[in-house]
Amino acid sequence: MVDVHYQRVINATPQVLRDTLLDHQNLSEFFNASFKVLRAENNSEVSGGVGCVREVSILGVSFKEEIVKADTDGIEYRVVDDFPVKDHRGVIRFSAQGSLTKVSYRISCWAPWYIPNWLLTRLLQHDIAQCLNKLGARFDPR
For residue 142, what pLDDT band results from cuts at 50, 70 and 90? low
pLDDT digits (tens, 9 = 90+) for 125-134: 999 999 999 9
Q: Total structural domains in the chain? A: 1
Domain that holds residue 72: 2-138
| AA identity, residue 110 | W
83 pLDDT higher than 90: no
Render 112-125 in DSSP notation, one character per residue. -TTS-HHHHHHHHH
- Whether this prediction's pTM lies above 0.85 is answered by yes
Residue among 82, 51, 83 nearest 69 (CA): 51
**CATH number, domain containing residue 18:** 3.30.530.20
Q: Check residue 19 and give its pLDDT.
A: 97
Q: What angle do CA 37, 75, 106 make, to 5 degrees?
A: 110
For residue 59, what pLDDT band results from cuts at 50, 70 and 90? confident
pLDDT digits (tens, 9 = 90+) for 3-58: 999 999 999 999 999 999 999 999 999 999 999 999 999 999 999 999 999 999 98
Taking 3-state DSSP, the helix, strand and coil percentages for the chain, each rounded to the nearest 5, stand at 25, 45, 30
Instruction: Summarize the confidence of residues 110-114 as an average pLDDT.
Output: 93
